[in-house]
Amino acid sequence: MQKPILEQLLQDRAGKRAVALATHLATGKEELIYPSDKEQTELAQQARIALREDKARTVETAGGEVFINVFNSPLRLLIAGAVHIAQPLAQMAAVAGYDVTIIDPRRAFATAERFPGVALLTEWPDAGVAELRPDARTAIVTLTHDPKLDDAALSTALNSDSFYIGCLGSKKTHAARLERLRRAGFGDAALARIHGPVGLAIGAKSPAEIAISILAQMTSILRGGAVT
Amino acid sequence: MENHDRVLEQAAAWRGEGAGVALATVTTTWGSAPRPAGSQLAVHEDGRFVGSVSGGCIEGAVVVEAQDIIQSGAPKLLEFGVSNSQAWEVGLACGGKIKVYVERVD
C-alpha cells in the first residue's frame, strides 16, 4: 500500500468520511472511491454498492479481479439520559465500534467525571438528537425515566432513519409512553419501531448487565440476526 | 474508551517508527469462515501483529508470509482451507476457505 493512500485513508477515518479502497489484485494498484464520486465506471458503481451494503467484496472487471474494501463512517449511538446505565452502555458501545454521544440537559448528570472521554451534549433531547442528524447507521436509546426528556428525544428519533430506537422503562411505563406518542400523532408503524422495554430478556439486573442486553438487541437489529 | 479495531492506525504508527510493516486483508470467504471479507491484520517486521483474519487459526502462517513480503515488496494472494489429509498443515478447523491479500505498507 502506497503511503499517500494509507495517509488519506487514515484522514478519512479520522474525519468520519465513508470511503472504499479498491485493490487490483493482479497488479497491487490501489485507489480510493467516495460515495459522492460521480464516476460511472463499473468499478465506481460496485464500490458505491459495497459502501451502501457495508460489505467488502471481490469483483471481476475488464482489467481483472478487484477487491473492494469498505471503510464506512462509524456507527453512532445517541443516549438520552446521562444516568447510571449510560455509563457502562457508553463504554461497551465504544468497544463495539460506536461513536457515542450522551444528551442530557441536567448538568449534574452529564459530567466528565461520570463519563470520561464520552461526548456530552447538555441540550434538551429533541434539539440534541436533531442537531446530530441521526441516519441509518445510528441507534438511539432513551434512559431518563422522565417523559419530558424521553418523549422529546423520541419524537425526533421517530422522524429519522435510525436503525434502532430503544426505551428504558417497565411494560406499564412503555404502554403509557406509546399512548402519549399516539396522541401526539404517531401511528402504529412508527410506534412499532420502538423497542420497549429496552433490551433482550436475559434477566439483566445491574446497570452493566442491562447495557449488555441493550447492545445485544441493537446488534441483532443491525445484523438481522435471529434472537433465540 | 476506544473502538478496539484500529489496525490501519497501528500499521501507520509502526511505519512511522521506521519499521517494516505488512497489511493482510481477507478478500474472499467460502463456507463458515470466521472473519468476513475486509477483516485486516497489520504485521510488524518483528512478528508483532494487531487485528485478525481468522479466529486465530491462520494468523501464525500469515505473519510468516507477511515477514517475507516486507522483505520482497511483492504482494501475494494466499489461500487457506481445510486440510483433512494433512491435519498438521495450517488450515481452518471450521471447514471454511479464505483468500488473504498480503501487501507491504510503503
Per-residue confidence (pLDDT) for residue B94, from 0 to 100: 67
Asked if residue B1 is part of any domain, the answer here is: no
Structure letter (DSSP) for residue A175? H
Percent of chain B's residues with pLDDT above 90: 65
Query: Which domain does B27 fall in, by range?
Result: 7-104
Per-residue confidence (pLDDT) for residue A69, from 0 to 100: 96
- The 3-state secondary structure of chain B reads CCCCCCHHHHHHHHHHCCCCEEEEEEEEEECCCCCCCCCEEEEECCCCEEECCCCCCCHHHHHHHHHHHHHHCCCEEEEECCCCCCCCCCCCCCCCEEEEEEEECC
CB-based contact B36 A74, cutoff 8 Å:
no
Looking at residues A28-50, what average pLDDT do you find? 91
Confidence of residue B4 (pLDDT cuts 50, 70, 90): low
Angle between helices A171-183 and A147-158 (to 10 degrees): 60
Asked if residue B39 is part of any domain, the answer here is: yes
Superfamily, domain A75-223 = NAD(P)-binding Rossmann-like Domain (3.40.50.720)
Closest CA in chain A for residue B22 = A1
The span from the CA of A198 to the CA of A220, in Å, is: 13
What ipTM was predicted for this assembly? 0.84
Interface of B with A in 24-63 (CB under 8 A): 25-28, 36-38
In this structure, of A127-136, A156-165, A177-186, B81-90, the range with the lowest mean pLDDT score is B81-90
- Chain B positions in Cβ-Cβ contact with residue A117 (cut-off 8 Å): 1
CB-based contact A56 B5, cutoff 8 Å:
no
Indicate the residue of A6, A10, A95 with minimum beta-carbon distance to B3.
A95
CA distances from A156 to A28, A80, A100, A161 (A): 46, 12, 18, 10
CB-based contact A55 B38, cutoff 8 Å:
yes
- Chain B positions in Cβ-Cβ contact with residue A118 (cut-off 8 Å): 1
What digits encode the pLDDT tens for the residues B44-86? 999 999 999 988 888 999 999 999 999 999 999 999 885 544 4
User: Residue B12: phi, psi to the nearest 5?
Assistant: -65, -40
Indicate the residue of A6, A58, A90 with minimum beta-carbon distance to B105.
A6
Please give the tally of structural domains in chain B.
Answer: 1
* A194-195 β-sheet, strand order: A119-121, A98-103, A75-80, A138-142, A164-167, A194-195
CA distances from B8 to A140, A205, B25, B48, B75 (A): 29, 38, 11, 14, 17
Per-residue confidence (pLDDT) for residue B30, from 0 to 100: 87
CB-based contact A3 B106, cutoff 8 Å:
yes
Q: What is the residue extent of each domain of chain A?
A: 3-71, 75-223
Asked if residue B15 is part of any domain, the answer here is: yes
Whole-number mean pLDDT of chain A? 94
The span from the CA of B15 to the CA of B62, in Å, is: 19
Q: Is pLDDT above 50 for B1?
A: no
